[in-house]
Amino acid sequence: MQLLDGKALSDTIKIELKKESMALNEKGITPGLAVILVGDDAASQTYVKMKEKACDATGIYSIIHKMPSTISQTKILEIIQMINQNPNIDGVLVQLPLPKHIDTTKIIEAIDPKKDVDGFHPFNVGRLVSGLDGYVPCTPLGVMRLLKAYNIDPKGLDACVVGASNIVGKPMMNLLLNAFATVDICHIYTKNLKEHTKKADLVIVGVGKINLITEDMVKEGAIVIDIGINKTSEGKIVGDVDFEHVAPKCSYITPVPGGVGPMTIAMLLENTILAAQKR
Site residues for ligand GUN per CB under 6 A: 93-96, 118, 138-139, 167
Q: How far is the CB of 95 from ligand GUN (least distance, A)?
A: 5
**Contact 212/163 with Cβ under 8 angstroms?**
no
**Contact 213/241 with Cβ under 8 angstroms?**
yes
Q: How far is the CB of 267 from ligand GUN (least distance, A)?
A: 9
Separation of CA 232 from chain center: 22
Q: Which residue's CB comes closest to ligand GUN? A: 96
Closer CB to ligand GUN, 93 or 205, in the complex:
93
> Does the active-site annotation cover 51?
yes
| Selected catalytic residue, list 14, 95, 114, 242 | 95
> Does the active-site annotation cover 194?
no
| Selected catalytic residue, list 90, 116, 118, 240 | 118
Q: How far is the CB of 273 from ligand GUN (least distance, A)?
A: 17
> Does the active-site annotation cover 95?
yes
Closer CB to ligand GUN, 201 or 259, in the complex:
259
> What span, in angstroms and rounded, lies between the C-alpha atoms of 122 and 75?
22
Closer CB to ligand GUN, 96 or 205, in the complex:
96
| Selected catalytic residue, list 51, 114, 115, 170 | 51
Per DSSP, the residues of 200-244 read -SEEEE-S--TT-B-GGGS-TT-EEEE---EE-TTS-EE-SB-HH
Q: How far is the CB of 226 from ligand GUN (least distance, A)?
A: 15
Closer CB to ligand GUN, 120 or 243, in the complex:
120
Closer CB to ligand GUN, 73 or 182, in the complex:
73
Q: How far is the CB of 138 from ligand GUN (least distance, A)?
A: 5
> What span, in angstroms and rounded, lies between the C-alpha atoms of 50 and 131?
31
Q: How far is the CB of 62 from ligand GUN (least distance, A)?
A: 13
Closer CB to ligand GUN, 154 or 206, in the complex:
206
Active centre residues (catalytic): 51, 95, 118
